[in-house]
Structure formats: C-alpha cells, structure tokens
Structure 1
Amino acid sequence: MSAVLKEQARPEEQPVPTGPAAPAAIAFTAAAPPSDLLGAPVQQFLADLHRRYEPRRQERLAARQRRQARFDAGELPDFRDDTRAIREGQWRVAGLPDALRDRRVEITGPVDPKMVINALNSGASCFMADFEDSTAPTWHNLLTGQRALREAVAGTLAFTSETGKRYALRPSAEQAVLLVRPRGWHLDEKHVLVDGAPMSAALFDAAVFAFHNAAALAERDRGPYLYLPKLESMEEAQLWQDALSHIEAALGLAHGQIRVTVLIETLPAAFEMDEILYALRDRVAGLNCGRWDYIFSFIKTFRRHRERVLPERGQVTMAQPFLKAYSELLIQTCHRRGAHAMGGMAAQIPIAGDETANAQALARVRADKLREVTAGHDGTWVAHPALIPVARAVFDERMPTQHQHHVGREDVLVVREDLVQAPLGTITRAGFEGNVEVCVRYLAAWLDGNGCVPIHWLMEDAATAEIARAQLWQWLHHADAEEGDPAGDGPARAGLSLDDGSAVDWVLFEAALLNLPSRLAGQPLPGAGRVPEAIALLEALTRSETLADFLTLSACQRLD
C-alpha cells in the first residue's frame, strides 16, 4: 500500500491543542452582525474551526502556487504515480441518501430571498444556493443569504417586492432539495477576523449554515447537503473531509451526515477524480462537470503555453475533444464508484420578444441536455426556471430510472494528452470585443453587489466572466510571441490575430475599452455607475505581467 493510500485509509485530523477551548477572539470589520446569526456560540464555533484548519488551508494554497510555477515552466498536468493504488482499487463511496437519488434537473442561483423562494418552488429536483460564483460577497449579501436559508429550512421564508408582489414557499413536499455551495478555499472572509487574521470564506459559509440548519435538516433526512467548489487536489478534498467531520462532531451529528457533491472545475482536479472521491468517500454523493470554471482553469493552467491558447469562448463547446474527454472520464469514474455524474450548466435564458431566437436558444439547450443524458450523466444544471421543463423532458425520456450508474462507460479510455490538447479555432473581432464587454458589465454589476447578471441572453456569473478576462490576458500577452513551428513545437495557434488578419494587440484592447461606454449608452445596466471603475480594474488585470488567479481576489477589497 502506498504512503498516500495509507494516509487516506481513514480521515484523520491533525493534532490540535487539548484542554478548554480558547475564547473566541473574533472581530468584525463591517457592521456588527445580528446576534441571532453570529452570536457568541457561533463565534466560538468559527474561531475553533479557524484555529484548527487555517494552517492547512494556507499550506494547500501554497501548494497550488508551487504547482502553477511548474506549469508555467512547461510541465503538464498528469495522473499521479503515488495514488495509483487508489485509482486501481475496488472501492465505492457510501450509499446515497434517498433525497439525492434523483437529481435529474438542478437549478442554481444566488442566495437572496426572492431567488431562494423561486428556486425552491421551481419544480427542479434540487436547488443549489450559491454563495460563490453568483453572489457578490458583500457583508449585507452574506448575512441576508444565511438568514434566507435559515428561514427557508424553517419553512417561514417570505418576500415582498417593491411593487407589492408577495413570494412564499410551497409546502416542503413540493420544494426542490436544498444544496448549498460555500466559497472556495482560495477566498478569505474579510469581514471576520480571528486572532487578527481573516478566516476562510469556505468555512465561514459552510459552518454558519450548518450551525443554524443542520439539526433540522438531519431530522428530515435532508442533509445538510453541500456543493464544494474549486478543488485542485485530493489533499484539498481531505481538508474538507476533516473540517466537515469536526463540524458534525461539534454539532452532535452522525459521521457522514453532511453529504457533498464536488465540482470538477479545475484542470488539475480532472486528473484526481478518483482520489477526490476516495478522500470524501464517507460523504460524497457525486461529481459535477463545472464546465465554465473548467475552461477558465485550462486557460489559467496553460497561461504561459502558447501552443494551448484557446479560441474565442463561443467555439469552446462540450463537443471539443478535450471537454468531451473530461466529461466522459467523470461519468466513468463516478459510476465505477457509485456516485452521481452531474452535467453542466445551461447558461441560456428566455429571449423575450423574439420567438425565432428564443426557439433557437431552447433548441441549443435541448441538444446540450441530450448530449449529457446520452453520454451517461445522472442529472444536469440550468440557470433559469424556464429551462427546467426543457431539461426535464430530455432526461425523463432518456433516463426513466433515478440515475444511470448502470452506464459504466467501459468504452472510455482517457489519457493525459486527451485532457490537455487545446482545440483549434479563431478569434473574431466580435468575440474579442464581446469578452471586453462581458468583463466590464459583469464587474460593474458585481462591484455594485450583484453576482449574477443576464448579458445578451446568457446568465453570466464569475465563472463565465473569468473565461473572458483570462482569454484577454492570454491573447494579448502571447500576441508578440513567435509562431510555433509545425515541424517542431506544433502548429501555429490561432488566437494571436483576428480571423480577418488584424493583430490582437494593445491597440485593439484600448480601442475596445474606449468604445465600450458609447456601446453601452442607453442600455439598462446593473451597476451602471461603476462601469468606469470596472474598466479600470479590467485594464489593470489585463496589463499585469502575471495572470491573477481570480478576479474576485482583488475586486473583493472594493466591496462593502
């Protein structure tokens, strides 16, 4: 048995000091929170989690940086030699709870009260309440979201709009199953300091939700259920396993009561799917193809690899070989281990006032969901309630059972080259300018407190904005590089000039930024007053010599 396999044989926490719990030394950098949400018992709970797991979180973040430095130097991701025994072993994850057996259509969205009510009432199988990519983490949004979820679990959540329209929950039996996505390991919760240091945003979100809701959810056999984002390694999954085990023990829950689904939305994680399932095998219910973040991660991982520059976003579809391989490997891995293989997001929203365009958009959604269910996925995501009937009809027709674990996909054989080979394609002027527009419009809305924004009939969140932002950086920073030799380093990559032959250069970028305000004039824009700030932030991020890991890292400092 390998050293890693021995270490993973049963989750163990690192030793922590024994004796009486240290007092909670918590300070809030924003307005003091209401005591019913973050009173003294919750503060003690958070302080204990921070002291136990913050050193390990920092170790994992440092490990990410070391690995990225190797990628920047030319190394390629690969399957790990030291975990071969895990990949080749005959083990399975814990059995699924009844509430998570049928997840054929899941809807996602932010945690404001109106969205929570509409999503739980939507007719979807599950609702993923998102503290991450679709929520701008202002202190107000975070507290409002935690309160909304607590009231939803209690069945008392209601909301009245400015126009007087009242929203209320349907009976619990008619509601979607609730799952909550905390933020990733990379983010700090700047509003909460423990012993003078910001605590992990991931642990803040998960712990506050569990503290207030775990007992009620466990009593109804409804979890708590979480979606875990942005993992890059089995060690990061193990950190979640240990932290959640501690939360269960502290709250008097049975081990494994908190069930999780992991988003495979980073390229490094695609090479460790078995290992991630193994680390979380007592509680994991499935993996999800987080396609948009995955494309962003591909760009970020290969930011210095000119031969792997992607074409414009519209051409990077799930039919591209590297994404098809990723999806099919996820299905094969999950079904071998007894876990759900969840499909990705349909970002389209209904197009009002244009029946032809709307029909075409729905046809694209239908085709995407048909691809997923035919490949063997056990469920899928949508961003808008109007897409639920479309997705459900496809899955009901092609998946009469609760899931498709019987579809083993033994035909799939994925090697490293399948996952790292970028597709050929082009960049159009409209594609380049569209990336600039999406970045600026999304950033402006996000800085104004709105993390989920419809742009050109697509629901944009941080993941899709990251693709646009990272592509701009990569295209422009490779624009002056010499083209590859077809006989040596591989074919010259499209993406250093537009399809009309025009150069992709800083002149083009500056022109797009200068022309954008006039293009946006007269349009109803969320966060319109912050467009100049968003333009300045995008320019700074794009001109930086190093691609920032996440745009939200610097942008968070501008939020209240």
Structure 2
Amino acid sequence: MDSWIEVLEFPSASRDPQAHKAYTTVLTEGALDFLRRLVSTFEDDVNQLYRDRANRHTAYQEGRGPSEFSAATAQTRSSDWRIAPLPAALLDRRVDIGDVDPSNGPLLRNAMLSGAQGVQVDFDDGFCPSWRNVLIGHLNVANAARGQLPGDQEGHTRAATDGTSTVMMVRPRAWNMIEANVMVNGRRVSGALFDFGMFVFSSGRHLAELSRGPFLYLSKLESASEAALWDRIFTWTEEALDIPANTIKACVLIESLPAAFEMDEMLWELRNHSAGLNCGMWDYAASFITRMGHDRRKIFPDRNRYVSMDRHFMRSYRRKVIATCHRRGAPATGGMFAGVDDGSLTTHDKQLLVSACVSAKEGDALAGADGALVYDLSLVQPVQDAFAKHFAKGCPNQLSSYAARDADTVTAHDLLQIPTESDVSLDSLRTNIEVCVRYVKGWLEGRGHLIMNGKVEDSATAEISRAQIWQQIRHGVPFESPPAAVPDADSHSRAPLSVVTHKRHKAAAADRVTAPLVRELIREVVCDLNAAEGHPQEGGDGTTTSTPSTISSSADEAGDLVADLVTLRECPLFITTYLEEQRILRRGADRPSHAKL
C-alpha cells in the first residue's frame, strides 16, 4: 500500500448524535480518500516547512534575524507585476465578520445574514479544535455553502448566492496545529491540510460554479516559501477536483515578524491565487517577543498602554501592508475592531462603542486600507459607511487611489523600531493574566474566544498577553510608580478587585514583575472565576481561594496551565501548540460542548 489513512475517534450515535451525524456527513469515503492523496502529495513539503521554521527560529534566538530586506529577492520587489484579477465577489472588502466559530451555528447564521461583505469562518484564532467542534464546524460550513444556514428548516435553501451577498472566507488552522484524530501514512495530519481539504472537497466546486469561492484566509505564514507551498496545494487541488485554474483565492494574514520582511515575495508566489494581505496586529506584536524576547535589550512595551496603530512601528507595518498590496493590484485590509456590546451597554455607551469603532476604521481608511474586520454585527453598517466615504465615487476599494504611493519608504528599521517604554502597570499585568486564564478555561470547555470587559478575546490577544508576561518575568521588568494610596481593606467591600490588588501587592508593585507575584495574581483570577460559577471556598485569612483540589474546576486547570506557560525556560512560539501538547482537547473531550448545528 503506497499510502493509507486512519481515523482514530468515531463519535457515538447514541451518546452524541449531532457529532455522529457530522462525522458521517463530512468524513465520507471520498473525502477521506481526497485527504489521503492531498496529505501524501505534500508530505515532504510540509516536513521541510517545519524544518525551515525551526532553523528560522534558531536564527532569531542567536540574534541573526533579518535587519534588512533580502538582497536575494530584490528583483521581485523592484519589478512591476500584479496579481491575477480579482473575481467580482472580492472587489468590495469593506467589512468581514471576524472570529466566527463555525461550530457555533447561531453565530455563523447571524454573521452570514449580517450584510457584511464577508465572514471569516475561523478554524484558527477564534476556534477550539476539539474533534466535536471540528466535525460540526465542517458540516455547518458545507451546508452554508449551499445556502442552508444553521436553524433553517430541513430542505430549505435560501437564495444567498447572488452577486451582492456575503461570502465565506474559510480560515483553516495554521501550520503549527495538527488534527490529532486523523493519521495519514502513520502520522497525524496538519490541521491546515485537514481543514482546507474538508472545505474544498465538500464545497469547492459548488462555490466555484457560483463564482463565490472557494476563498480563504491563511494564518501565520512566515515566508514566501510557505506561500509558494500553498500555491502548489491550490493548483493541485484545482486539478484534482476539476475546479477552474486560479479560482481558489486566499488572503494572507501578516501575523509574524518574518512575514513582514517578505510581503512582496508572498504576493508573488501566490499571484494567481491571491486575495491580498491583512493586518493581524496582536499576533504580529506577539511575534516580537516569541522571536526576540530572550534579549534584554528588546523588552516589548506594555501592550495595554503603549502598543497601538498610532505607534511608529505598527503604523509602518500597516503602511507597508497597504502600499505593497496596492502596488500589486491586491486588496489590503486592516485588523479587527474588538469592541462588542455584551448586552449590558446603555444607549450612550453603545454610541461610544460605535464612535470608537468608526474612528479606528477611518484611520485604516485614511491609511489606504480597503476594509477591516469587526466582531459585533451592529458595527457592520457604520464601518461600511466609514470606508465608503473615503473611496472614490463608484469605487468598491482604494486600489487605484493609493497605488504604490509609499511602498519603498518603509524601511526595515521602521518595522523594528519598537517603543522604548519598558515599565508595566499592575492593572495591565492582571489584565493580561485574566485574558490568558479565561482563554485557556474556554479551551477546556470547548470555546475558542470569549467576551471580556467589552472586547472579544481570542488566541491572538491571549498570545500577546502570555508572551508579555513571560518576558516580564524573564527580565524582571519594573513596575511603574506605585499606585496612589487606596482606602483601608475594611472599605473594599464593593471595590473592583484590581483596586484591592493594588493594596495587597503595593510593595511588590513598587519593584518588578516576579514569578511568585504572577502566580498570586493567577490565583486571584481563578478565585474570581470560581466564585462567579458558584463554588468558592473561604480561606482562613478571610480571602477567597479556589475550589478544593478533589474536584478541580476548569478555572483551576487553566490557572495551573498558565502558571506553567509563563515560566517555561523558553517562550513557546504559539499558545495553541502548547495547549495541544498538554492534551487539552483530550482532557476536555467529555465536557459539555458549545458546538451547534
């Protein structure tokens, strides 16, 4: 036998009929055979990709990361060329809905009916890839591609495929993730190839016939060679599935420091399959730490206070993405506005939310971007209007208005010039800890993103949060000036925990970030989460402690994992890889899942 495929877990029809239905519908004999051929064909290339990534990371660790754009590809950057023409469905990119977990049927349904230009159907940053979620997610995607949205009556098909309707942009898992339940040739398959393969086999030809795809987002690419691999995968798939050549289109998220130095080169490699580039702000910021965080001279600034698109290095990054794309006839889109109405906002606060979103996205539009992402569906129309008013009359984008005006003015130094502020506030540290604990807790419970303090948090914000904590512990980053005096403990009955924390840790806050302090703050976050879920335990000193260890809550487990993650000897490149290696998905397999058909 030249190649073979094995599925390791079969959902029970009696215990989980929804997952069983998804399994039998998605993993057909034909789908598995296609996946076997796809993985076998590109097995050597994928293995080389992993070796190249390891070598690249070693170079950064040794201080040999790029300080200039490569001379070897100078001709690609200087030559005049453009990507293949975009299909009509991708000319208007003003608003995509981001972080749409395909296993959450109501969320997918509402996003597809939102009136946005596109929906980022996300198997990556906003998704927890439990086997149940993966199966139900792919069934929901296959049905949605045929106009059958979750919640529709059986057999009902809506006319949602005309030239003005919302398109699906499927985001497979990144190359760092695996699908642990499927093996080809005795090896577990990459999550990227599994998600891509299931999507294109079930829906690729159908969407192509409708001129609605297949369209994708590609996460966490690091180099032009990785873009070239995807291009070969697309070409092979088009031939294998009888999809017209150059029909598959993909938008690459620029989410890593290495990728920022090869934007032209990636567009060149994908020129026949390109749908442009996107700014992935927080993953990009985190990559500075995961690549160079061991270097005391490169302390990354407090992300909650000093990192935004107004800072020079981030502004240069956005400018480079936009100018590079427009020079090549490719759309460029800004990042996702994370603000969300969680149902508790007053009318005034809702107006403030819309105002903040419009202001941020008008900044993208003025910089030349062709669109951006939002999570809150109520922001779709305001953002569409914000971009439209900056477009030339009758134009669906800014490709002609901003063609190559400053592509060559962004230097390597601009991209690497991070702010010099090196202190941290106690509130900011605790916020980062809470994001991490809540995110990991969500994974344990089958969720890939959450709403916290009026913002959506996913693996990208968890990534920068945990990386920042790791670096602050590693180098003993100092705190800002001690917080102002607060009332005595007796008056704290209604005070926010962050205020109480200032009082409790005032001595430590005057000094620096330490592992014991971080662990204490983690325990406080865990106690808060346990108390909110109704199982606190009162400690002997009057403080609230976590649930007894005889039955650990998911918050307890999450706290333990985060405490380990931020004190490892080396900083992991990806939080999701770390969680996968801890067998998080297997440990949470028997917990209730939030996946819905």
Is contact 1:121–1:169 with CA below 8 Å preserved after alignment?
no
Determine whether 1:98 maps to 2:88: yes
- Matching residue of 2:4: 24
Determine whether 1:44 maps to 2:39: no
- Matching residue of 2:123: 131
Q: Deviations over 1:378-411 (max 9, x none)?
A: 1111011011122112112112421111212524
Equivalent-residue separation in structure 1 for 2:256 and 2:475 (angstroms): 22
Determine whether 1:283 maps to 2:267: no
- Match for residue 287 of structure 2 among 297, 301, 307: 297
Q: Give the CA deviation at 1:421.
A: 1.4
- Matching residue of 1:214: 204
Which letter maps to 1:269? A
Is contact 1:498–1:504 with CA below 8 Å preserved after alignment?
no
Q: Give the CA deviation at 1:366.
A: 1.5
Q: Give the CA deviation at 1:336.
A: 0.5
Which letter maps to 1:439? C
Determine whether 1:258 maps to 2:248: yes
Equivalent-residue separation in structure 1 for 2:576 and 2:295 (angstroms): 24
- Matching residue of 2:62: 73
Equivalent-residue separation in structure 1 for 2:434 and 2:420 (angstroms): 24
> 1:224-235 alignment to 2 at 5 Å?
224-235=214-225
Which letter maps to 2:449? C
- Matching residue of 2:333: 342
- Matching residue of 1:318: 309
Equivalent-residue separation in structure 2 for 1:168 and 1:367 (angstroms): 38
Equivalent-residue separation in structure 2 for 1:389 and 1:170 (angstroms): 22
Equivalent-residue separation in structure 1 for 2:120 and 2:259 (angstroms): 21
Equivalent-residue separation in structure 1 for 2:453 and 2:234 (angstroms): 40
Q: Deviations over 1:342-387 (max 9, x none)?
A: 1111011025234444433332211110110001001111011011
Is contact 2:3–2:184 with CA below 8 Å preserved after alignment?
no
Equivalent-residue separation in structure 1 for 2:410 and 2:302 (angstroms): 25
Which letter maps to 1:476? I
Which letter maps to 1:529? S
Of 356-365 and 85-94, more deviation after overlay is shown by 356-365
- Match for residue 515 of structure 1 among 524, 539, 542: 524
Q: Give the CA deviation at 1:504.
A: 1.1
Q: Deviations over 1:296-336 (max 9, x none)?
A: 11221221222222222222111111000000011110001
Matched residue SS, 2:121: strand
Q: Percent identity?
A: 34
Determine whether 1:408 maps to 2:434: no
- Matching residue of 1:541: 565
Q: Give the CA deviation at 1:28.
A: 2.1
Change in Cα spacing, 1:380 to 1:205, as seen in structure 2 (3 Å) is same
Equivalent-residue separation in structure 1 for 2:207 and 2:406 (angstroms): 40
Is contact 2:116–2:166 with CA below 8 Å preserved after alignment?
yes
Is contact 1:54–1:200 with CA below 8 Å preserved after alignment?
no
Q: CA RMSD in A?
A: 2.1
Matched residue SS, 2:335: strand
Q: Give the CA deviation at 1:168.
A: 9.2
Is contact 2:3–2:185 with CA below 8 Å preserved after alignment?
no
Equivalent-residue separation in structure 2 for 1:110 and 1:437 (angstroms): 22
Equivalent-residue separation in structure 1 for 2:302 and 2:354 (angstroms): 22
- Matching residue of 2:379: 387
Is contact 2:530–2:553 with CA below 8 Å preserved after alignment?
no
Matched residue SS, 1:288: strand
Equivalent-residue separation in structure 2 for 1:39 and 1:24 (angstroms): 15
Is contact 2:183–2:189 with CA below 8 Å preserved after alignment?
yes
> 1:175-186 alignment to 2 at 5 Å?
175-186=165-176
Equivalent-residue separation in structure 2 for 1:387 and 1:73 (angstroms): 44
Q: Give the CA deviation at 1:76.
A: 3.2
Q: Which runs of 5+ in 2 are unaligned?
A: 13-19, 483-509, 535-551, 590-597
Determine whether 1:529 maps to 2:553: yes
Is contact 1:127–1:178 with CA below 8 Å preserved after alignment?
yes
- Match for residue 454 of structure 1 among 451, 455, 464: 451
Matched residue SS, 1:543: coil
- Matching residue of 1:442: 439
Equivalent-residue separation in structure 2 for 1:447 and 1:353 (angstroms): 29
TM-score (structure 1 length as normaliser): 0.89
Determine whether 1:474 maps to 2:474: no
Q: Deviations over 1:16-42 (max 9, x none)?
A: xxxxx9453323245386333112211
Equivalent-residue separation in structure 2 for 1:322 and 1:23 (angstroms): 47
Change in Cα spacing, 1:524 to 1:354, as seen in structure 2 (3 Å) is farther
- Matching residue of 2:413: 417
Q: Deviations over 1:250-286 (max 9, x none)?
A: 1011221111111111111010000000000011011
Q: Deviations over 1:422-450 (max 9, x none)?
A: 11334110000111111001110112100
Of 167-176 and 453-462, more deviation after overlay is shown by 167-176
Which letter maps to 2:396? Q
Equivalent-residue separation in structure 2 for 1:392 and 1:141 (angstroms): 31
Equivalent-residue separation in structure 2 for 1:499 and 1:68 (angstroms): 36
Matched residue SS, 1:189: strand
Q: Give the CA deviation at 1:187.
A: 1.2
Is contact 1:322–1:421 with CA below 8 Å preserved after alignment?
yes
Matched residue SS, 2:405: coil
Is contact 2:426–2:479 with CA below 8 Å preserved after alignment?
no
Is contact 2:3–2:40 with CA below 8 Å preserved after alignment?
no
Matched residue SS, 1:504: coil
